Amino acid sequence: MKSPITVIILTFNEENNIVDCLESVKDFAAQIFIVDSGSTDQTPEILTRYPVQVFHHPFENYSQQRNWSLKNLPIKTEWVLNLDADQRLTDEFKAEVHHHLSNGKLENINGFLASRKTMFMGKWIKYGGHYPTYHAMTFRLGKGQCEQKLYDQHYLVEGNTIKLKGDVIDLITESLSTFTLRHDKWSTLESIQQFDSANSSTETIIGKLKGDAMQRRRYFKNLYERLPLFVRPVLYFLVRYFFRLGFLDGKRGLIFHFLQCFWFRFLIDAKIYELRRTNKQIIQ
C-alpha cells in the first residue's frame, strides 16, 4: 500500500543512478515528480519506464531548484519527500514513515529527521562522526523549504519534527574521478559562500548547541568557519579520523576521510585565500 506522500527527485544526466532510486520509491509514494535540468544521456528514456511525472526547469542552484519544485509542482499530498538521484530509501525508513502517516497522530509534527547512510567505494562509512547525520528531507507541504545557500544546503522546517530510526542510503560517488570533480565544483561554491557576505541569508538554519541535530551541526560548522585558514582542515581531519574513530572504516575509510575532511576543506581554504588576494589587488 502506497503512503500519502509525494517524492521529488532532481536529475541531470543520472542514467547510472536513477533506476535504483526509482526502484526504492515506486511502490512507496503516491506521487513521484522528476525535475530535470536538461539531461542529455539516457535519463529521459529511463524515466518513461516508471510511473513518474517529469518537469523541466533550468538549473540555477540546488536551493532554487528545490524551492521552485515545492512551489510549482501539482502536489496533491500533504507530505513531501526530497531525494537526490543517488539516494535510496530503505525498507525501514518507508515502513516507519508509512506508520506515522497512517496513524493520524501528527497534529503537532511538521517534519521527519532521517540520517543518511553514506556508501563510498561500496563501503558504509560508519565512523568519523559521519553517522548518524540527520536531515529534514520530509515535511508537510508549505511547512518546509531549502535554505538559501550555494553549498551544503539543508531544509528548514517550521514547527516540531520527529527523528526517524530508518536511514536513507546515500551513494557518495560513482568513482574517485567523479568525487574529485564534484568536490572541486563544490569547493568553489563554498569558498564564495564564506568569502562573500552578500550570499548570506536569514533563510538558513540557526546554529544552536542545545538545538536539534541539524542545529547542533550548524553550530559546530559556524565555529569551524571562525578558525584560521589552512589550520582548520588539519584540525578537522585529526578530530574526524582519530578522535571520532574514522580509522575504523579501514582503507576505503582512510581515502574518504582524507579526501572529504582534509583535501576538500583545504581546497576551500585555498580558494578563499585566492579570492582574498584577487579582491585586495582590485581594491589597490
Contact 167, 138 (CB under 8 A): no
- Provide the pLDDT for residue 223: 93
DSSP codes, 183-215: HHHHHHHHHHHHH-GGG--SSSPPP-TTS-HHH
- Asked whether residue 199 carries a pLDDT value surpassing 60, the answer given is no
Higher pLDDT, 200 or 125: 125
As a whole number, the mean pLDDT across the chain is: 93
- Provide the pLDDT for residue 197: 62
How many C-beta atoms lie closer than 10 Å to residue 102's C-beta?
Answer: 12
Out of 3.40.50.720, 3.10.129.10, 3.40.50.300, 3.90.550.10, the CATH code matching 3-171 is 3.90.550.10
- Provide the pLDDT for residue 213: 80
Q: Cell digits for 108?
A: 503537532
- Asked whether residue 118 carries a pLDDT value surpassing 60, the answer given is yes
| Average pLDDT rounded to a whole number, residues 214-233 | 92
Task: Give the separation between CA 233 and CA 220, rounded to whole angstroms.
Answer: 14
Question: Model-level pTM?
Answer: 0.91
- Provide the pLDDT for residue 280: 67
Contact 219, 208 (CB under 8 A): yes
How many C-beta atoms lie closer than 10 Å to residue 202's C-beta?
Answer: 7
Helix (H, G, I), strand (E, B) or coil at 69: helix
| Average pLDDT rounded to a whole number, residues 82-101 | 96
| Average pLDDT rounded to a whole number, residues 68-96 | 97
- Asked whether residue 259 carries a pLDDT value surpassing 60, the answer given is yes
- Provide the pLDDT for residue 198: 45
Q: State what percent of residues in the chain have pLDDT above 70.
A: 96
- Provide the pLDDT for residue 201: 53
C-alpha distances in Å from residue 192, one per residue of 147, 200, 208, 269: 16, 10, 24, 10
Closest to 88 measured CA to CA, from 6, 34, 178, 167: 167
- Asked whether residue 265 carries a pLDDT value surpassing 50, the answer given is yes
Domain edges within the chain: 3-171, 176-283
